[in-house]
Amino acid sequence: MSQSELINARATELVARLRKQDITPLDLLDALEARIAAVDKNINALPILCFGRARDHARRLMQKPVSERGLLAGMPVAIKDLTYVAGVRTTSGSRIFADYVPETTDLTPERLEAEGAIIYAKSNTPEFGAGANTFNDVFGATLNPWNTAMSAAGSSGGAAAALATGMAWLAHGSDVGGSLRNPASFCGIVGMRPTVGRVAGTRRWTVDPTLSVDGPMARNVEDMALMFDAMLGEDSRDMLSKPRPEKSFVDAARSGWKPKRIAYSRDLGITPVDPQVADITRVAAMRFAEAGVIVEEAHPDFSEAHECFHVLRARDFALKLAHHLDAHPDKLKPEVIWNIEEGLKLTTRQIVRAEHQRAEIARRLDAFLRDYDLLLCPATIVPPFPIGQRYVEKCNGHRFGNYVEWLAIVYAITLAGAAALSLPCGFTRDNLPVGLQIVAPANGEAKLLAGAKLLEWILALDLRPIEPRQPSS
C-alpha cells in the first residue's frame, strides 16, 4: 500500500494487515511522519512528536510473534497532552510544565502499549483541559481543519483535528464536560465517553474522581471500538476499574443489534440550541426509522444539571489544581483560576446538595432508558465558532452565565454516569460538521456502539481524511 492508501485506510483494516505482516508498524510510522510534516503546520494538532521512541518500540514489538503483539499489533496511537508517557514531554498546556518530561507512564497509555499501541505524538489541549476551545500559552491554538478560522473545540481538540486530517487513525482523549464529544462533533469524527471504571486511570490527587474518564477517538465506530477494547481492563491502582468483558466491543459494534425504541431531544430541556444544529440532528435521529426503529421526542428531567455540575466541577479543580494557584498564580489562565477559586469557596452543604442532585439525575436517566434503548440529542449546541472566541457566550438569544454553561447538553450526561458518544450526522450550510450525541445506560457500551454503527451505515457520510481548508474570502 502507498502512504496515501495507508493514511486513508481504516484502523481495523490496518491491524488485520499488521497481523498478516503485509505491512509493519514502521510503515505506518513513516506514513504518519510524512503526513504530519505536510499538514500539521496548518492546524497545530500534534505539537509533541516522539518518532524515535516510537520506532524503538515498534522494533521491539516486531521481535515478538504476531500472536503476542496485543490487540493493536503495532498500531500507532496519539495521546492527549494531559497524560504522562515516560520520556515524552508532557505540558498539560501549561507554562508551569512547559518543559516537563515524566519518568513514568500513566495507566491508560501503559495499557495501550501493553496491547501493541505505538505512541508517536501528544495532542494539543487547553491548559489543564479547562475549556472547550483548544488553545494554550505553550503551543497556541489548534484550528478546525474544516475551516481553519474556526475552533476544533476541546479539550481533546488536537486529537480530533489529527484524526480528521489523517494524522492519526486512533487517538486517546479524556472527558469531563464533553471534552471528547465536543471536538468529535466539531471535527467530524467519533469520540466516546465510556462508563466510569471501564478504562483504568491514574489517580494523582483523589482515588474517587467524580467526573473525568479516558476514552477512545477514531474516524468511525468500528475503529473506535477497536481502540476501546485495547483500553479496557481492571487495575489495582484504580479501585474503580472493571474487568474486561468476555465479548469484544468490535464484535458488539458488528453484532447487528438494533434498538426497538429510541428518544430524541433537541435540548434535554436545559439549554438553547442553534436552530440549524437542532434541525440537522433531528433529521439524522429520525432516520433510525428506516431500520424499523420507533423514534419519539422525549427526555428525562435534567433541571438540576447546571447547579450540580458547577459545584462538582469546581470541587475537582480545587482538588487537582489548588496547589498550582498557590505556587504559580501568574502562570494560570483566568478560566483555570476561576474554577479553582469557585471550588475553594464551596461549603459542605453545597457539595452535599450537588451529590444528592447527581444521584437523582442518574436515577432519572436510568429509569428513562428502561423505556427507551437510546437517547439522542445534539452533541454540541452550536456549529464550530471562531478560533479567537474563547467560548460560546450566547446562543439563540440566550446569554450564558459562565464559560461552561454552553456545555450543558453534554455535562448533563456526564452527571448521569451514562455511556455516550458523538457521531457525525451532517453538515451546516457552511459545510461544518455537526455531531449527534447518542446515550446508553451505564455499562451499555455494547448497545451504544451497535446503535451508532447502524446509524453510521444509514447516514453513509464520506468522512475520509481531509486537507485543512482555509476560510473562504
pLDDT digits (tens, 9 = 90+) for 304-322: 999 999 999 999 999 999 9
**How far is the C-alpha of 156 from the C-alpha of 183, rounded, in Å?**
6
Give yes or no for a contact between 162 and 45, defined as CB atoms under 8 angstroms apart.
yes
**Do residues 453 and 224 touch, judged by C-beta distance below 8 A?**
no
Residues 165, 170, 174, CA angle at the centre, nearest 5°? 105
- How far apart are the C-alpha atoms of 438 and 459, rounded to whole Å? 14
Question: What's the alpha-carbon Rg for the chain, to the nearest Å?
Answer: 21
pLDDT in tens, 320-351: 999 999 999 999 999 999 999 999 999 999 99
Please report the pLDDT score of residue 233 as a whole number: 95
Can you tell me the distance from the alpha carbon of 63 to that of 69, in angstroms, rounded to the nearest whole number? 9
Average pLDDT, integer, range 228-256:
96
* Mean pLDDT, rounded, for 412-426: 98
* Structural contact between residues 170 and 218, judged by C-beta atoms closer than 8 angstroms: yes
Residue 473: predicted pLDDT: 54
Q: What is the pLDDT of residue 311?
A: 97
In tens, the pLDDT along 451-463 reads: 999 999 999 999 8
Virtual torsion, Cα 37, 38, 42, 48, nearest 10 deg: -20
Identify the bridge partners of residue 435 per DSSP, sorted by sequence position. Answer: 424
- The pLDDT score that the predictor gives to residue 44 is 98
Q: Any idea of the CA torsion for 386, 79, 62, 102, to the nearest 10 degrees?
A: 140
185: preceding bond cis by omega (within 30 degrees): no
As a whole number of angstroms, the distance between CA 331 and CA 277 comes to 37
CB 263 within 8 A of CB 372: yes
Band of pLDDT at residue 210, cut at 50, 70 and 90:
confident
pLDDT at 204: 83
DSSP 129: G
What is the average per-residue pLDDT within 252-264?
A: 98
Q: How many CB atoms lie within 10 A of CB 24?
A: 16
- What average pLDDT does the chain have? 97
What's the rounded mean pLDDT across residues 190-210? 89
Given a cut of 60, whether residue 179 has pLDDT beyond it is yes
Say whether pLDDT at 226 is over 70.
Answer: yes
- Amino acid letter at 14? L
How far apart are alpha carbons 394 and 450 in whole angstroms? 35
Would you state the cell numbers that stand for residue 430, as one nine-digit string? 457552511
For the chain, how far is it from start to end, CA to CA, in angstroms? Answer: 37
Do 244 and 233 form a contact (C-beta atoms < 8 A)?
A: yes
Mean of the pLDDT values across residues 398-406? 94
Residue 351 has, within 13 A of its CA and on its CB side, a CA count of 13
Task: Give tens-digit pLDDT for 98-126.
Answer: 999 999 999 999 999 999 999 999 999 99
Q: How many CB atoms lie within 10 A of CB 208?
A: 8
Q: Give the position of cell 502512504.
A: 3
Judge whether residue 229 has pLDDT over 90.
yes
| Percentage of the chain exceeding pLDDT 70 | 100
How far apart are alpha carbons 46 and 43 in whole angstroms?
9
- SS3 (DSSP) at 7: helix
Quote the pLDDT of residue 277: 98
SS3 of the chain: helix, strand, coil, percent, to 5: 40, 15, 40
Q: Are 69 and 146 in contact (CB under 8 A)?
A: no
Tell me, what's the pLDDT at 182? 98
pLDDT at 238: 94
Task: Report all structural domains of the chain as residue ranges with CATH numbers, in order of start.
Answer: 3-459 (3.90.1300.10)
Cell output for 266: 433537541
Contact indicator for 183, 153 with CB cutoff of 8 Å: yes
What is the percentage of the chain residues whose pLDDT exceeds 90?
97
**Residues 6+ positions from 104 with CB-CB distance below 8 Å:** 84, 86
* CA nearest to 214, candidates 309, 123, 89: 123
Which tens digit of pLDDT belongs to each residue from 36-70? 999 999 999 999 999 999 999 999 999 999 999 99
Residue carrying the nine cell digits 513514568 = 104
For residue 67, the model assigns a pLDDT of 97
- What pLDDT, on the 0 to 100 scale, is given for residue 195? 97
Q: How many CB atoms lie within 10 A of CB 247?
A: 11
Instruction: Give yes or no for residue 371 having a pLDDT over 60.
Output: yes
- Measured in residues, the chain has a length of 473
| Mean pLDDT within 245-271 | 98
| DSSP-assigned states of every residue in 375-403 | EEEESSSS---BTT--S--EETTEEPSST
pLDDT in tens, 8-38: 999 999 999 999 999 999 999 999 999 999 9
**How much is the pLDDT for 203?**
86
| 31 and 6 Cβ atoms separated by less than 8 Å | yes
